[in-house]
Amino acid sequence: MKTKIPNWREKQQLLYAQKPNLSSLKAIFDSLLTHGAYEEALDYCKKLKDNDCTGKLRQISIEQGDFFLLEGLVKEGLTKAETQDWKNLANAAKSKGLDKFYHSAMAKIDSKE
């Protein structure tokens, strides 16, 4: 069954509901991952506070060299990133030509050492 990706209004209602439907949120999260909408998926991951969701986004961020995605997970307290994680992310970013992400990750490494 294909999960409909909500518009902004539906998203607000889903994420800020008194009693959110976690299975619906998880299905939307998975659909967003399938469509490559990782930053959008992060919003659902924050609400779910699910280790599986966090792990998937963490892995994607490092493999894709997506500095802001990993930084978002860390800032939300959903995961920790060690120096080696930032190095792996920097290498992935460099190989994909994502210079800004590469330099941001290298700055993180320099600040940790």
Count CB neighbours of 36 within 10 A: 10
**Which 3 state secondary structure label does DSSP give 91?**
helix
pLDDT tens for each residue of 37-88: 999 999 999 999 999 999 999 999 999 999 999 999 999 999 999 999 999 9
Rounded CA-CA distance 30/1 in Å is 12
pLDDT grade for 113, boundaries at 50, 70 and 90: low
Closest by CA to 89, choosing from 110, 112, 113, 58, is: 58
Tens-place pLDDT, residues 3-42: 888 999 999 999 999 999 999 999 999 999 999 999 999 9
Write down the domain spans for the chain: 8-80
Please answer whether residues 33 and 60 qualify as being in contact, where contact means their C-beta atoms are separated by less than 8 angstroms.
yes
Contact yes or no for 40/12 (Cβ under 8 A) = no
> What does the DSSP assignment read for 41-78?
HHHHHHHH--HHHHHHHHHHHHHHT-HHHHHHHHHTTS
